Amino acid sequence: MVENFVFFQKSFIFAGDMNQEEKEQLLQKIADANARAQAAETELKAAKEKISEYEELTAKAEKASRMKSLFLANMSHEIRTPLNAIEGFARVMAETDSPEDRMKYMEIVESNNSRVLALIDEILDLSRVEAGELSIKKQMTDLNELCRNIQLIFKFRCPDTIQLTWSQTAMNVTLNTDANRITQILSNLISNALKHTTEGAITYGYRLINDGQEVEFYVADTGSGIAPEDQKIIFETYMSRDADSQNGYGLGLSLCKIIVEKMNGSISVQSKLGEGSTFRFVLPFEGTIGGMKKDSRITTNSRTIRVSTHTNLKDAPLVLVAEDEDSNYELVKIVLQKRYRLMRACNGIEAVTMCEDEHPSLVLMDVRMPDMDGLDATRIIKEVSPEIPVVALSAYAFEENIQEAKQAGCDEFMAKPFRVEDLLDMVHKYTESDE
């Protein structure tokens, strides 16, 4: 460009010796050169902006990678801690003669088991989100009943120094929403509040806002509060302050945001260090207000495995349990043996043979077994004896696994681990005509 400038300068000096045509050609060359220079400057500016953008993206990716590595390390800690308690107290419980001690140890095991299951559920939800498979299943839900059940969930999880309060509304409100997702969000927010509140109160509830166009749920605590810089990133995956401090696994709040936005809502936080925090999420209101019939499927079942036993097992329904793992079969056996006659098949081939020979009232079918898996066995059983109900029991609990089981002919699907009450209800549902 310097050479061009010198050329143009000399050209102007000798322009007096040029005729009109030569002057016009010179001016055109100068205009073309200026246009090329301006284009080069524009391209250089765009290149610098791209470089700056790539540097910013690289920095964000490196930060996310560091936080994800820290998250995985904390995840290992979060899983191993309750598993250690479960394994240890299970062994101690087996060697303890005192009924009082056994009950105490069992409560510890159940508490840690719930902790592991909650963590696994959140991990699975995150994987569903990343795969674009998070589903929302709406039904008319009584919000007062939903909040009442959340209070029962946390009844034994709140220490004596913290009071958990539900601000009940004066009228019944029903909302067409996914009750399980609402429960999950509120439970995550309350669990987060418990982690950061050593004494004081945690208050939760809901209210209608914007002339009844929206419903706002909230969880307020008197805990340690959140710094302003942390509030900006607290809902980002892997970015929770909990991950840095190892005070949690930094996953629940990001899931709350994802679920709320999936339900066409928004979530926010207001907090001051040392004074506490209030989390709110707002959803469009689609429901009824005041005195309407409840249609919520959230229930509390307190039955134990000691009730409703058959006095004469010879007349009890026959249940075939297809399960290759001894510990899993032992659990089903303990739950059902006082009510039903049981047979065990250790693989799919044995299950098919026993169905042909014994014609059970129900088959509890594990999916993954040696020799022949549960789905292939179900297809054969349904082809030969379509009237025999088959309930799939599987630790593979994604939506595609459930659909595969249904396509194979299974009448129902239960994910492992299951609640004792749910298993009893399921077996009773398909054997009540034979009882």
> Residue with structure tokens 């995985």?
72
DSSP 8-state symbol, 267: E
Answer for the pair 272, 392: CB distance below 8 angstroms, yes or no. no
Closest-CA residue to 336 (of 302, 361, 359, 358):
361
**CATH number for the domain whose boundaries are 1-134:** 1.10.287.130
Rounded mean pLDDT, 144-158: 84
- Is the confidence at residue 345, as pLDDT, over 90? yes
* CATH fold of 313-434: Rossmann fold (3.40.50)
Given a contact cutoff of 8 angstroms between Cβ atoms, the answer to whether 105 and 92 are in contact is yes
Query: So where are the chain's domains?
Result: 1-134, 139-289, 313-434
CATH architecture observed for domain 139-289:
2-Layer Sandwich (3.30)
The pLDDT of residue 413 is: 92
Segment 3-13, tens digit of pLDDT: 454 445 555 54
pLDDT: which is higher, 261 or 78: 261
Local confidence band at 75 (pLDDT 50, 70, 90 cut-offs): low
Determine the pLDDT at residue 344. 95
Residue-wise pLDDT tens digits, 267-289: 999 999 889 999 999 999 988 87
Residue 290 has pLDDT above 90, yes or no: no
Given a cut of 50, is residue 333 above it in pLDDT?
A: yes
- For 433, which DSSP code? G
At residue 167, φ and ψ (nearest 5 deg) are -85, 95
pLDDT of residue 49: 86
Contact 328, 423 (CB under 8 A): no
Chain segment 164-177, per-residue pLDDT in tens: 999 887 677 899 99
Instruction: Reply yes or no on whether the pLDDT at 416 is more than 70.
Output: yes
Question: Which region among 20-34, 49-63, 282-296, 374-388 has the lowest average model confidence (pLDDT)?
Answer: 282-296
pLDDT band at 155 (very low <50, low <70, confident <90, very high): confident
Q: What band does 33 get if pLDDT is binned at 50, 70 and 90?
A: confident
